[in-house]
Amino acid sequence: MNDIERRLRAAMHAAAERWSAEQRSAEQRSGQQLSATLLAGIRRRHRRHVRRLGAASAAAVVAVAVAVPALAHELRTAPVGQVPAGHLPAPATSSPAPSPTARSGTVLRGCASANWGQLPSNWRSGSLAAGPVWFVYDRPHGYVHDGGSYSKPVVHPSGSRQPWVGVMIVEVDFGATAVLKVDPASQSYFRLLTGFDQAGSYSLRDGVTGLTLASCPRGTPAGPNGLVTDYYLGFMLLPGDRALVNLWPSSAATRPIRLIFTCQVRGCGT
């Protein structure tokens, strides 16, 4: 180590010692530890983040105006004994396998990879339920999402138009395993994402068109939003387009619930 390196190291360590002493003095004066101040700030930021997501994810899911008819169609066509998922707060599902596995062509999000964000206490009232799966949104903001802030430069399979990255918070009832798969008709222009912070990083691998959401087993202590597992997901869609996504609410389900994802002009892009 040469002279300038020694001096630099000494300068940094001396500064660190001085800051440390100043910090201790400040803590003694205020009676509050640095970590407590930091945690309070982090809580504030996290609440703000969740509120923003709540608003943004609204339509992340679906334009309900579009989705409701789709669910109604399911209601009309469901076989006797099969209750449409959207009306089941606690669907009957088979017990989860000890080690959940991803359905073919999907990426697994299990209990261990949940996000556990904090939603408003009344989140269910503003959410669209499809079987054990709750698509969280903020009703006052309508059914469109604000894709602007997440509109990272991402490569879209269908061409040069800049896609929007939708935010999608999903809650899945404990004990359930649901599968979301993009319908083949929409696979050329629509992508599901395993997150929404950095769309490019979180996009699904080539050849993978869906997500297996294996919730925590029944009996798991309630999370911040109740007896549900919390996932931050996303999707990538060109403005004005609609995409069809099939949702199998349990491993035993033979018929999917069909959801339509869209990104309306209002609220998108800015």
Partner 1 sequence: MSTNDRAGFVGGTSPSFEGFVTAASARLLTLALLLTDRRRAEAEDLLQDVLERAYRRWPRIIRNGSPEPYVRQMLVNAAVDRGRRLRRRPEAPLMPDTASPVAADQVGQSADRDLLLRALAALPPRQRAVLVLRYFEDLSEAQTAAVMGCSTGTVKSQASRALARLREVAGSSDDPETGSQEDAVRP
Q: Select 35 or 254, whichever has its Cβ closest to partner 1.
A: 35
Binding range to partner 1, per CB under 8 A, among 29-37, 77-85, 124-132, 253-261 = 29-37
Mark the segment that binds partner 1 (CB under 8 A) among 67-75, 112-120, 145-153, 155-163.
112-120
Helix (H) or strand (E) holding 59: helix 58-61
Residues 231-250 that bind partner 1 (CB under 8 A): 232
Q: Is 112 in the site for partner 1 (CB under 8 A)?
A: yes
Binding residue for partner 1, selected from 25, 45, 65, 82, defined by CB under 8 A: 45
Interface with partner 1: number of residues (CB under 8 A)? 43
Residue choice 30, 32, 33, 77 for contact with partner 1 (CB under 8 A): 33
How far apart are CB 47 and partner 1 at their closest, in Å? 8
Query: What are the percentages of helix, strand and coil residues in the chain, rounded to 5?
Result: 35, 25, 45
Q: Which stretch binds partner 1 (CB under 8 A): 2-10, 122-130, 155-163, 239-247?
A: 2-10
Closest to 216 (Cα-Cα) out of 251, 171, 169, 176: 176
Using CB under 8 A as the binding rule, whether residue 200 contacts partner 1 is answered as no
> Which residue in the set 25, 30, 34, 255 belongs to the binding site for partner 1 (CB under 8 A)?
34
Asked if 234 and 166 touch (Cβ cutoff 8 Å), the reply is yes
Q: How far is the CB of 216 from partner 1 (least distance, A)?
A: 11
Q: How far is the CB of 247 from partner 1 (least distance, A)?
A: 24
Q: Which residues pair with 233 in a beta bridge?
A: 168
3 lines the binding site for partner 1 (CB under 8 A): yes
Residue 80 beta carbon to partner 1: minimum distance, rounded to whole angstroms? 40
Strand ranges across the sheet with 257-262: 106-109, 210-214, 177-182, 242-248, 257-262
Residue 205 DSSP class: P
Q: Is 21 in the site for partner 1 (CB under 8 A)?
A: no
Q: Tell me whether strands 228-237 and 191-193 are parallel, antiparallel or unpaired.
A: antiparallel
Closer by beta carbon to partner 1, 34 or else 65: 34
Residue from 115, 187, 198, 264 that binds partner 1 (CB under 8 A)? 115
Q: Which residues contact 114 (CB under 8 A, 6 or more apart)?
A: 216, 223, 229, 230, 231
Stretch that binds partner 1, among 9-17, 126-134, 199-207, 233-241 (CB under 8 A): 9-17
Specify the pairing of strand 177-182 against strand 133-136.
unpaired
Residues near 122 by beta carbon (within 8 Å), at least 6 away in sequence: none
DSSP string, 138-176: -GGGTT----GGG------TT-SSPPEEEEEEEEEETT-
Asked if residue 20 binds partner 1 (CB under 8 A), the reply is yes
- Cα separation, 168 vs 210, in Å, equals 14
Q: Which residues make up the interface to partner 1 (CB under 8 A)?
A: 2-16, 19-20, 23, 33-35, 37-39, 41-43, 45-47, 49, 112-118, 197, 223-225, 232
